[in-house]
Structure 1
Amino acid sequence: MAQTASSAAAPPALLDRTVAKVQARLLPFLLLMYVLAFLDRANIGFAKKAFQADTGIGDAAFALGAGIFFIGYALFEVPSNLIMHRVGARAWMCRIMVTWGILSAAMAFAHDEATFYVLRFLLGVAEAGFFPGVILYLTYWFPANARARVMGMFYFGAPIAFILGSPASGLLLDLHGAGGLLGWQWMFLVEGLAASAVGVWAYWYLDNRPGEARWLSAEEKTVISGAVAAEEAHKHAHGPRGVLAALSNPRLLYLCAIYFLIQMSVYGVVFYLPTQVAGLLGKKVGFEVGLVTAIPWICALAAAYLIPRHSDRTGERRVTAALTLAAAGAGIAVSAGVASPLVALMALCVAAAGFIAVQPLFWTFPTGFLGGVAAAGGIAMVNSLGALGGFVAPNVKTWAESAFASPAAGLYLLAGTTLLGALLILGLKGLGLVEASAGGKRPSGAVLPQHQS
């Protein structure tokens, strides 16, 4: 309590300076980790054509293998995050990254369906806990009024993975035959081993909590720890306290449904974007297609910067998030229904911007009422059940295209589920999950209430 009192007496400028210092120290590294995580789970989309041609794996088997990652991921999310809450981020993030990097590199040897399925499943198991672990980790270091902005910057990872990773993956694919390896083998090996190397680095770079950070002064440790501790006390007073109470909380289950629909839109597009762009250009997936594929992610990068900052400034979350996700649904639908490659590419830019920028806004809702071990379990459950959308999306997309004998049918279906997600976000007000007032003046050290009528 002494820390909270000290924080409350501290001038707002000191807290703001400390938050900026923490942001400058942690976010670039966390961003690097996320870039590699997103690239290692989604680079199968770049390998699709060459991988299928060399292994003989059909479209249905590819969709199953692409999606089965999320089964392993979902099963181990909650236990993984509970372990991180107990042992700390340094050791656990290192373990996650090293093992997933090795398994991603092992995809270079997936020459048949069975090996493909097993490696994709194990990759999900290995990576389980990374993303909710980072979301939880950010709640240890940043108060609520800065969280959408900070999470928005963390979400730069997905666009950057494609802005830089799209051309890089294309170049690695173009190494076909070098050293006796196929292009897709080079891609999996290089990108997987890079993740393992960064995982080792994470053990020496990350600090578990502000109190352990030697790069913060005693005064800075006190003010940031006090602000977060006061917020935690508010969450414990107004939200579930234990893991079981969090996992059975109706508000959390509602959020799981929303995140499931968001992830359907993300991975229904991500796994097929390179081949969709290649079809628009009339070219094979390679460096040139990789460059064009990066364009929607540049738009997503701008949206992930601007929209959460706008939300923090105004204090409005719910309507902003709903409109952002609705724009993504409209972009997916238009990309499927127009003949002009330029218009289709512009629509994909809107889609990518929408489904990336909505996610940092979304995470302000569960982190606003969950604290302590309830946050560890609850955030992981939202992410794990939401991640099942990554399994469902490629499979229902393939089913719709087959059932309606139309390559556009799958995208129309995904557009519909995305718009449904936007409607569910609007319904958050009825559950008492309305945005925190992040804008306006803030008492020094005060924690903003997370439940408004």
Structure 2
Amino acid sequence: MNTLTSGLASAQRQQLESRAYAKATLRLLPFLFLCYVAAYLDRVNVGFAKLQMLSDLQFSETVYGLGAGIFFIGYFFFEVPSNLLMHRVGARRWIARIMLTWAVISAASLFVKTPTQFYIVRFLLGVAEAGFFPGIVLYLTYWFPAARRSRMNALFMIGIPVAGVLGGPLSGWILAAFDGRDGWASWQWLFFIEALPSFVLGVITLFYLPNSIRAATWLSNEERAVLEENIAQEQAGKGHASVASVFSNGRVWLMALIYFCCMMGLYGISFYLPTLIKASGVKSALDVGLLTAIPYACAVFSMLFVAKSADRRGERRWHFAIASLAAALGLYLSTVFGHNVPLAMLALSVGAAGMLATMPVFWAWPSAILAGGSAAAAIGMINSIGNLAGFVSPTIIGWMKDVTHSTNAGMYCVAAAMVLGAALSLLQPKEIVNG
């Protein structure tokens, strides 16, 4: 036990620990949350650009689906190397690098003229962003033990639905207000304006984000000591396998498959929510943008509630499975009520709330098994394989829409994937993932 904390009475230690975690949460999570809002907005704003971009550039639904999804091919190949580099060089410089490069490439999307250019920009955006999400998941394991991790993950990951709550109305307003200004189409302004927050936050990251507990000058010596001690005790009980062995670990591959199913739902919603709402009978781009905020607002509450419940009860498998089944039901019902705006919005809200509630619970699993460089590799591998669904999901939906002139068949595939993910999650050993 650390000499700075070994002489403290239990009550004093708990008070010191509570104060230290409160400081760390307040200092880190709001900033990381803002970064993820910016990141996710840049990743999926193509779903709003699509409403006008396709007609301007004469792109088919198949071209859009392939371009939206090819982001994840670049993401896949660079994910694990990126996470290993972050573990080696530190979060501050690496996260800043990621944010600055993706901001520049996202803004460059406004110059796209041909399908080939669209594919190239989306691929490069995936390369640039690779490592951000799993890097932050790994970074949080440096600070918070397993008993707090679902809640911390949730505070970071609500950046996804908040990006939808803020990004929907913002994107709809840009499309309505900027069309033709200074010779640019509204979708070009959309890419440019929404890249600016990422660039600014990337610069701030260089000065704001500490690499580790030891580098946190805003904690006292005693506070740093108790946080480091908690992490050290937890890491001591985990496997420190070689990076290479991670790729032959059956549990890691099972997690990757479960996460793939989860991401089928996320990107089915993210890339096609504006299209689904428009198909239900909403015509105005601004109204579509405002209505997309509703499912994401529901997801903010579901993520926080499910994560808190999972940590409090020490149970994660059934929390994940039930949320995943709710997502599948919501996506299915969105096709049944596809031409009834209120019922379609209710179904999409259930789908988004269930889907996004799975994420903070899921990401408490990998760090419960491995530590150090092996954890970095496992988190990167799981995220890269899982995010291939970001290629598969929009590609399938886009192709099926061209063939059937409806998104229904694509939504059925996505809902089926969520059901499969729920079933596979129950194969996880409860004594490990619930710990």
* Structures share fold, TM-score greater than 0.5: yes
| Residue 336 to residue 400, structure 1, CA distance change in 2 (3 Å) | same
Give 1:224's aligned amino acid.
L
State the 1:434 CA deviation: 3.4
Aligned equivalent of 2:91, options 73, 77, 89: 89
SS in 2 for 1:282: coil
Find out whether 1:48 has 2:47 as its counterpart. no
Displacement after TM superposition at 1:8 (Å): 9.2
SS in 2 for 1:164: helix
> Alpha-carbon deviations, 1:360-380, whole Å to 9, x = none?
000111011110001111100
2:423 alignment partner in structure 1: 423
Q: Distance in 1 between matches of 2:7 and 2:318?
A: 32
Listed as ranges, the matches of 1:285-300 within 5 Å are 286-300=285-299
Distance 1:7 1:416 in 2: 55
Q: Is the counterpart of residue 145 in structure 1 residue 144 in structure 2?
A: no
Deviates more, 1:336-345 or 1:265-274: 336-345
Kept in 2: contact 1:8–1:227 (CA 8 A): no
2-side partners of 1:433 and 1:330: how far apart?
A: 29
Residue 217 in 1 paired to residue 217 in 2?
Answer: no
Unmatched tracts of structure 1, length 5 or more: 437-453
Q: Displacement of 1:3 after TM fit?
A: 6.7
Q: Distance in 2 between matches of 1:352 and 1:8?
A: 46
Structure 2 letter corresponding to 1:242: S
Q: Which residue of 2 aligns with 1:195?
A: 198
- Residue 334 of structure 1, CA deviation: 0.5
What is the alpha-carbon distance in structure 2 between the residues aligned to residue 209 and residue 241 of structure 1? 22
Q: Which SS does the other structure have where 1:281 is aligned?
A: coil
- Please report how far the alpha carbon of residue 289 of structure 1 lies from its aligned counterpart in structure 2 after TM superposition: 1.2
Return closer, same or farther for 1:369/1:6 CA change in 2, 3 Å cut-off.
farther
Deviations 1:372-415 (A, max 9, x none): 00111110000000000110001122344455564311111111
Distance 1:251 1:373 in 2: 17
Name the CA shift for 1:406/1:8 in 2 (closer, same or farther; >3 Å). farther
Q: How does 1:131-210 map to 2 (within 5 A)?
A: 131-174=133-176, 175-210=178-213
In structure 2, do the counterparts of structure 1 residues 190 and 137 end up closer, same or farther at CA, with 3 Å as the change threshold? same
Query: Partners of 2:95 and 2:32 in 1: how far apart?
Result: 10
**Aligned partner of residue 426 in structure 2, secondary structure:** helix
2:347 alignment counterpart? 347
Q: Report the more deviating stretch, 26-35 or 6-15.
A: 6-15
The answer to whether the aligner puts 1:229 opposite 2:232 as a matched pair is: yes
Percent identity, aligned pairs only?
45
Given that residues 151 and 360 in structure 1 are in contact (C-alpha distance below 8 angstroms), is that contact kept between their aligned partners in structure 2? Answer: yes
Q: Confirm or deny: 8 A CA contact 1:240 1:249 kept in the other structure.
A: no
Cα displacement (A) at 1:56: 1.0
Deviation at 1:119, TM superposition (A): 0.4
Query: 1:199-221: per-residue Cα shift (whole Å, max 9, x none)?
Result: 01001000000111110000000
Q: Distance in 1 between matches of 2:88 and 2:157?
A: 25
The one-letter code sitting in structure 1 at the alignment partner of 2:144 is F
**1:278-331 CA distances to partner (integer Å, 9 max, x unpaired)?**
1213304x2221111100000000101111001111111111110011100110
Pairing 1:22–2:21 present? no
Equivalent position SS for 2:241: coil
- Counterparts of 1:34-433 in structure 2, within 5 Å, are 34-174=36-176, 175-235=178-238, 239-284=239-284, 286-338=285-337, 339-401=339-401, 406-429=406-429, 433=432
> Which residue of 2 is the match for residue 441 of structure 1?
none
Using the alignment, how far apart are the partners of 1:328 and 1:426 within structure 2?
17
- Aligned partners of 2:65 and 2:396 also within 8 Å: no
Which segments of 5 or more consecutive residues in structure 2 lack a partner in the other structure? Answer: none
1:7 CA displacement:
9.8
Question: 1:287 and 1:7 mapped to 2: Cα distance?
Answer: 61
User: For this pair of structures, how many residues does the alignment match?
Assistant: 431
Q: CA deviation at 1:49?
A: 2.0
SS where residue 176 of structure 1 aligns? coil
2:42/2:194 contact within 8 Å kept: yes
- Contact 1:72 1:125 survives alignment (8 Å): yes
Q: Distance in 2 between matches of 1:117 and 1:30?
A: 29
Amino acid at match of 2:376: A
Give the drift of 1:172. 1.3
One-letter code aligned to 2:174? L
Q: Which residue in 2 is equivalent to 1:439?
A: none
Contact 1:333 1:412 in 2 (8 A): yes
Q: Is the 8 A contact 1:329 1:416 kept in 2?
A: yes
- Structure 2 CA distance for aligned equivalents of residues 51 and 73 of structure 1: 23
| TM-align CA RMSD | 1.7
Q: Equivalents in 1 of 2:407, 2:226: separation in Å? A: 55
Q: Give 2:154's aligned amino acid.
A: G
Q: Provide the secondary structure at the position in 2 that maps to 1:364.
A: coil
Paired amino acid for 1:379: I
The change in CA–CA distance for 1:327 and 1:183 in structure 2 (over 3 A counts) is same
Which has the higher mean CA deviation after the structures are superposed, 169-178 or 209-218?
169-178
